[in-house]
Structure 1
Amino acid sequence: MIYIARNADVIPQKILEVALRAQEELENLPIDKRKNYIKSKSHIWRGFAKYLSKMSHGKCWYSEAKDAGANFDVDHFRPKSEAKRSDGLVDEQGYAWLAFNWENFRLSAQNCNRLNRDEDSEITVGKGSWFPLLDGSKKATWDDRCTNDELPLLLDPLVKNDLDFIDFDDRGLFVKSFFCVGLQARRIRDSAVIYGLNLERMREARFAAMKEAKDLYETIQISVEDLDVQGDQASMKAIVRQIEMLKAKTRADAAFSRAVRVQLQKLGASDLFIDRNMDAA
């Protein structure tokens, strides 16, 4: 998961105005007409997809996956139709008033947004309409839109502090860090399941990116040792190229760059190998 610094300036005014008009119409509808109206206007939030993509360098905001051949969904962080709080509790109205509010949109890989069955664990994962709240949290409604007072269980890529203590193990699994305990540990564990962040295909892709970075770092170390012996200019240029290749894997526009950075930090790699020039935050 990556922090996203949203930028309304990349969204054309026409797109924002269409969403605003839909919101104004929605506000005047009786409760029994809202769901069908929202469903009929799905093209509105889909129209934001490419602009949300620009904000994350073409990566899913939840998984950090980047695949030119994949379709991305525009997820409503707070579900627009119904909000599933637990296996036995569903708020039928959800957060209908946020259906056209682009600040509620998150760019999501379909595997994160849609329900999938994890063949290894036989657990159904994917966000779907899930939006659990922590115990004691206030709950926003159409008549009391106190979303700022809610305490969501799910990690939010728009909240920097939510991303503290995220780690990746040596198999490429999205996990909590060793020092993370209590409520935040629970949020990380449950978010990994609900967002499908450890589906086998996702784990394999993340692990491959981490392994490539580790292998390249070890190659650079060997090259440096050889340079001490040979000391020729060609070897030095080769090392510089290898360093630039490694730094490219840590850029904000590279798939799984957060996991790669964590891997390098565990290897004791200095910031020489981490490129922060394109960071979203």
Structure 2
Amino acid sequence: MIYIDLENNPPSQDWIDRADIVTQELVDAVDSVLRNQIIDANQPLWNELKNHLSSLNNDKCWYTESINSGAHCHVDHFRPKKEVIDENGVKTEGYWWLAFDWMNYRFSGPAANVRKRSYFHVNANRALNYADNLNLEDILFLDPIKFRDPEELAFDNEGIVRPKATNKTLRNYKRARYSIIRLNLNSPSLIDKRKDKYRNAVILLMRINKKLDLQSIVFDQAREIEIETDMRQLWLMCSKNSEFSASVKYCLKSSGFDWAKEIVEKAA
């Protein structure tokens, strides 16, 4: 998961205008049965934004950073549109008024979206009505459009993602753990791919650092070119266009090498 600047990348005004009309129909509907019928009838509207959302992260799932065939990816409603299931299994009416709100959409691969479904736990201040303030909600899910949320995840050389916080009583630990489970971030296929990326990064880190030590003793122009090539490879792996760049960045930042941290900064 990496930060996605959705707010500054809106869809066309034409799409927004059409979505607003449908939202008003939902507001005017007399009951949930009619609202669900309106939502189902207008599903093609949010699917129109699949390519737009995909382009904001180089076709990568916003939750897992994996690249999937566009046909298999989903426009996920971050806050579920029809029903909400909390961690106690209690079902309540969904955020129907956000069904056609583009700020509620996340581009998701199947591994994450199928597992997420209608789960959305709110610790406090659950918004139940159209006029309720969503910003007051204390939610468990980490959100890729929140600037600080992706930083709550950590990675290891086995490809496993875990909470960065180690104290299990902390709110940040609970949010990260909930997101890892509900978004299926440790599915076997994702673990294998992250493991490969992480280990390749470690190999490059060690190789570069050894050559930098040698350069400090005796400068060699050929070796300098090799260092430049390897550093550029790490920079590409950290790029937001690269699959699983978050795990590579975490690897570099936790290496203890200042030059590795500089690569992460350049890739930002």
State TM-score, norm by structure 2.
0.89
User: What is the deviation of 1:53?
Assistant: 2.1
Q: What amino acid does structure 2 have at the position aligned with 1:106? A: R
- Residues 165, 180 of structure 1: 8 Å contact kept: no
Matched, 1:207 2:182: no
Please, which of 245, 259, 264 is the counterpart of residue 257 of structure 1? 245
Identify if the C-alpha distance between structure 1 residues 149 and 276 changes in structure 2 by more than 3 Å, giving closer, same or farther.
same
Tell me how far apart the structure 2 counterparts of residues 7 and 187 of structure 1 sit (CA, whole Å): 22
Q: What amino acid does structure 1 have at the position aligned with 2:251? A: Q
Structure 1: unaligned runs, 5 residues or longer: 115-125
Q: Secondary structure at the match of 1:160?
A: coil
Residue in structure 2 matched with residue 35 of structure 1 by the alignment = 36
Please, which of 126, 133, 142 is the counterpart of residue 122 of structure 2? 133
Structure 2: unaligned runs, 5 residues or longer: none
Identify if the C-alpha distance between structure 1 residues 264 and 143 changes in structure 2 by more than 3 Å, giving closer, same or farther.
closer
Percent pairwise identity: 28
Identify if the C-alpha distance between structure 1 residues 240 and 213 changes in structure 2 by more than 3 Å, giving closer, same or farther.
same
- Residues 138, 149 of structure 1: 8 Å contact kept: yes
Identify if the C-alpha distance between structure 1 residues 54 and 209 changes in structure 2 by more than 3 Å, giving closer, same or farther.
same
Please, which of 236, 257, 262 is the counterpart of residue 272 of structure 1? 262
Matched, 1:97 2:97: yes
Q: Secondary structure at the match of 1:252?
A: coil
Matched, 1:18 2:18: yes
Structure 1 range deviating more: 22-31 or 2-11 = 2-11
Tell me how far apart the structure 2 counterparts of residues 166 and 203 of structure 1 sit (CA, whole Å): 14
More helix by share: 2
Give per-residue Cα distances to partners, 1:234-254, cap 9 Å, x unaligned: 322122111111111111221
For 1:9-158, list aligned pairs within 5 A.
9=9, 11-31=11-31, 32-67=33-68, 71-91=72-92, 93-114=93-114, 126-134=115-123, 137-142=124-129, 144-158=131-145
Tell me how far apart the structure 2 counterparts of residues 222 and 8 of structure 1 sit (CA, whole Å): 42
Residue in structure 2 matched with residue 5 of structure 1 by the alignment = 5
Structure 1 range deviating more: 98-107 or 211-220 = 211-220
Q: Secondary structure at the match of 1:2?
A: coil
Q: Secondary structure at the match of 1:86?
A: coil
Give per-residue Cα distances to partners, 1:211-239, cap 9 Å, x unaligned: 11111222223434555677442322122
- Residues 248, 275 of structure 1: 8 Å contact kept: no
Give per-residue Cα distances to partners, 1:145-195, cap 9 Å, x unaligned: 232222111111222333343211232211112544422211111110001
Tell me how far apart the structure 1 counterparts of residues 70 and 209 of structure 2 sit (CA, whole Å): 35
Give per-residue Cα distances to partners, 1:36-60, cap 9 Å, x unaligned: 1101211111111222223223322
Q: What do you get for the CA RMSD once the two structures are aligned?
A: 2.2
Structure 1 range deviating more: 93-102 or 145-154 = 145-154
For 1:168-187, list aligned pairs within 5 A.
168-182=155-169, 183-187=171-175
- Residues 64, 256 of structure 1: 8 Å contact kept: yes
Q: Say how many residue pairs are matched.
A: 264
User: What is the deviation of 1:23?
Assistant: 1.3
